[in-house]
Amino acid sequence: MEAALQRSDVDVSDFFHEDFVWDANYGCGLKHGLSEFESGWYLPFRNFFGNRDFATEHFMQDGNWAACFGACHATLDRDFMGIRATGQKIRIPYIDFWRVEGTKIAENIVRVDFASIVQQLGGDVFLGKGWGHEAPKNFETHPAA
């Protein structure tokens, strides 16, 4: 999957069924099919965040479902959520779930940690009323359990 996302080409049809369903955070929406995904998420994401390097920390698989978590390391190239673009390097944490049919993804459920992105850029979506201000753990050196 990392190879698909890091390519310079926006066409990801080699990896997804034409009519796949993409389900993401509020504000990102539900996309039906490659065309909606490419124009409504993938291309805007690429336009906002440059110099992308995906670093998946762990992959899991159960039957025809696979999942991973990791982060995209990128630069902010366009104004984002009311924050001016500075070219600042940021870490975009994500968790992804895929249902595979044959050799392609038929369903993709993804969550991106937008609160973390905004915090790295000097904002606070919780306006100081969040439940904690700890940085995300590095699970390689600090296991979750």
- Sequential DSSP letters for 24-61: -STTT-EEEHHHHHIIIIIHHHHHHEEEEEEEEEEEEE
Number of CB atoms found within 10 A of residue 119's CB: 17
- Residue 145 confidence (pLDDT): 45
Residue 22 in contact with residue 31, Cβ under 8 Å?
yes
Which pair of tokens denotes residue 96? 């992804």
Distances (CA, A) of 36 to 21, 39, 41, 58, 118: 10, 5, 8, 28, 25
- Residue 142 confidence (pLDDT): 53
- Residue 65 confidence (pLDDT): 98
Where does 2-120 sit in CATH, by number?
3.10.450.50
- Residue 130 confidence (pLDDT): 84
Residue 96 in contact with residue 68, Cβ under 8 Å?
yes
- Residue 93 confidence (pLDDT): 96
- Residue 69 confidence (pLDDT): 95
- Residue 4 confidence (pLDDT): 62
Type and span of the H or E element at 106: strand 104-112
Phi-psi region of 96 (alpha: psi -120 to 50; beta: other; left: phi over 0): beta
Degrees to nearest 5, angle at CA 43 with 42 and 44: 95
Global pTM exceeds 0.75: yes
Domain ranges of the chain: 2-120
pLDDT in 10s for each residue of the chain, 145 residues: 666 666 666 778 889 999 999 999 998 889 999 999 989 998 899 999 999 999 999 999 999 999 999 999 999 999 988 899 999 999 999 999 999 999 999 999 999 999 999 999 999 999 988 887 666 555 555 554 4
